A and B are shown apart, each in its own frame.
Chain A
Amino acid sequence: MFAGGSLYAEQVDPGYEHVGAGNQFLPSKRTTSGFKGFEEGINNMMDLDANTQHEQMHFQQRVDDKETEQDRLDKLRIAGNHLNFNESDEKNSGFHVMVSGHIESGQINEYDGICAKFDFISGTEWSIIEGNRTGVSQHAYKSQQTNRRVVWNYPFEIAFKSMNVNGWPQIVLTLTNRDFLGRDQVCGYGTVHVPTQPGTHTRYINLFKPISSSLISQVLGWFNGKNAEYVSPTELLARNEGREITRVQSGGVAKVQFHVTMKNMDQFGIFPFKA
């Protein structure tokens, strides 16, 4: 019955998005309903076949035509993003993600007098409309009661603009404290993605400390006031390569509250939440 090839054939030209027998998402021309629709369904299949053959015959010509349009579209695309946009609307330059919130508190057992530094990491196509990408909080001490909690309540607010969902922003926390001689040392790192759903979210960031690779460097580090730390923490934490060769120990939990709003995502056909 399917003379042109099965409906699930897998040799589909990747440049040819929405025609061809291998694509399940072919727009159907007729709706079939009930038993009477069976013949229509068969006819639909035959049409599918005929269409495929027709397309294949004129494939080369179509490809040439498509090339010029594709070139034009490619110029408008930035770094290979696959979003379509209204070309008539010149002012439409991306969707917006606005994030605000605060780094509320942390539970860190061994250290006291901890200062939290945050950084927002995002992909290459994300740009900041307003707000600070990085900030440093105060040094917070634990209360007199037996409580492991350290409270910062350090607010942040940032607005991003992008054409591509890749590179969704992440927040990277670096915690430092002062040892007994007053030298700054790192006592923890943590990272989490900004939530992808609009609304208010609470995130618990688990914090970790890198471990020195040998006992000697650990002892020397204690003397020098420099624990093992990462040379470029934001690079390591935000990407997921190169992590498997580091050894870490856990160092507590930080609580961060996010308020996320988005704008213009529906124009791109992107749904970040159950609408």
Chain B
Amino acid sequence: MSQIINTPQVHLIGEVKGAYGFETDRLFCKFNVRVGHNWTLLSGKDAGETYEEIKEETEEYIIWDHPFDIHYKAKTIRGWPKFFVEVWQIDSEGRYSISGYGIATVPFTPGQHKMQIKCWRPRPQGFWKRVASRILGIQPELQFKDMLLSSAERFGFEAETTGTVEIDVGVIVKDFQLHGVELYTEI
């Protein structure tokens, strides 16, 4: 019999819809999908940057609608794709500063899902730094982003909550059942 490739595969098809709850009106988002070592990207782009959206002051929702279509091949379950987003804001002078970091795991169940990623950003430490952040718009950024992806201790790190990013994702899986993996319970 000829060799049949039956490695499990996962497709992620959807849009980075938009965001709400952030305090500024001009935002864009850099997102990428992180997977483990034993996962291979077969096609599609797993990183992207949306356009910069300027919303009306009376609106609540910032819309990006950035599509993605990603195809992975999986050798282990560990390393299931996670969305990692960075939301950046632009002030009236055109300066960029960070408005939130967020991370969320893609759901296992095949089908359509709406992921809501709540974001936070590092809090300026010290009274004068907070004043500077409010008046001058200087926001601290993370220099090493590995801490976001690992579950190592973060004790002592101060972060303030910002808004939420919404992602509509459709998950299509292939051949997990051939290896005895159940991704959902059948009722």
Most buried by B among A25, A250, A274: A25
| Contacting pair B111 A193 (CB below 8 A) | no
Interface residues of A in 50-84 (CB under 8 A from B): 66, 69-70, 72-73, 80, 82-84
Contacts of B70-96 to chain A: CB distance below 8 A: 71, 73, 75-77
B120 in contact (CB, < 8 A): no
8 sampled A-B residue pairs with Cβ under 8 A: A17-B5, A23-B75, A24-B75, A80-B42, A193-B13, A240-B67, A241-B48, A249-B55
Instruction: Determine which of B51, B75, B173, B184 lies in contact with A247 in the assembled complex, contact meaning CB atoms within 8 Å.
Output: B51
Interface contact A191-B65, CB-CB below 8 Å: yes
Chain A interface size range: 35 or more
Contact of B170 among A14, A195, A241, A269 (CB under 8 A): A195
Which residues of chain A have C-beta atoms less than 8 A from B28's C-beta? 244
Contact yes or no, A249 B54, CB < 8 A: yes
Cβ of B6 under 8 Å from chain A? yes
Report yes or no: A192 in contact with B65, Cβ–Cβ below 8 A. yes
Please give, as numbers and ranges, the residues of chain A lying within 8 Å of B7 by CB-CB distance: 17-18, 25, 82
* Contact between A196 and B184, CB atoms less than 8 A apart: no
- Are B66 and A247 in contact, with the CB atoms below 8 A? no
**How far is A197 from B111 in the complex, measured between Cα atoms in Å?**
5
Residue of B whose beta carbon sits closest to that of A203: B168
Within 8 A of A (CB), among B155-186: 168, 170-179, 184, 186
Q: Is the interface of A mostly helix, strand, loop or mixed?
A: loop
A246 touches B170 (CB 8 A): no
Within the assembled complex, what's the spacing in Å between the Cα atoms of A269 and B184? 16
Q: List which B19-77 residues lie within 8 A (CB) of chain A.
A: 28, 37-38, 40, 42-45, 48-56, 59, 61-63, 65-69, 71, 73, 75-77
Does B141 reach chain A (CB closer than 8 Å)?
A: no
B112 within 8 A of A: yes
Cβ–Cβ < 8 Å partners of A73 in chain B:
2-3
